[in-house]
């Protein structure tokens, strides 16, 4: 048979467990500032530019009808080059 102290400990543990699991604790709060967002955008653009630098585009050919006449085109061996990647964020 459980003693009164054991029963009290069990009751306190159950209350603590219910409070911890059903509470409204967000777990993590983050505050973002405009300079922080600008930094994140700059880093994202730099990483994207590094990833696409030197990528090859597939060969493409075809023809198109324009007001001036029919145009045939053929594009081969195209590579992506990123000279300068900048981000400009304008907030209202």
pLDDT, one tens digit per residue, over 9-52 is 666 666 666 555 566 666 777 888 888 888 888 888 888 888 88
What is the extent of the structural domain holding 40? 32-92
pLDDT range class, residue 92, cuts 50, 70, 90: low
pLDDT range class, residue 1, cuts 50, 70, 90: very low
pLDDT at 29: 79
Q: Is 8 inside any structural domain?
A: no
pLDDT range class, residue 5, cuts 50, 70, 90: low
Q: Is 64 inside any structural domain?
A: yes
Residue with tokens 């195209």: 78
Residues 6+ apart with CB under 8 A from 85: 45, 46, 48, 49
Q: Is 84 inside any structural domain?
A: yes
> Into how many domains does the chain fold?
1
């Amino acid at each position: 048979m459980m003693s009164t102290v054991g029963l009290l400990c069990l009751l306190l543990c159950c209350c603590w467990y219910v409070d911890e699991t059903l509470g409204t604790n967000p777990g993590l709060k983050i505050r973002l500032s405009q300079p922080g967002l600008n930094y994140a955008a700059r880093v994202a653009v730099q990483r994207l530019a590094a990833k696409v630098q030197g990528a090859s585009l597939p060969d493409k050919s075809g023809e198109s009808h324009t007001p001036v006449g029919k145009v045939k085109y053929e594009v081969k061996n195209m590579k992506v080059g990123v000279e300068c990647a900048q981000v400009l964020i304008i907030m209202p």
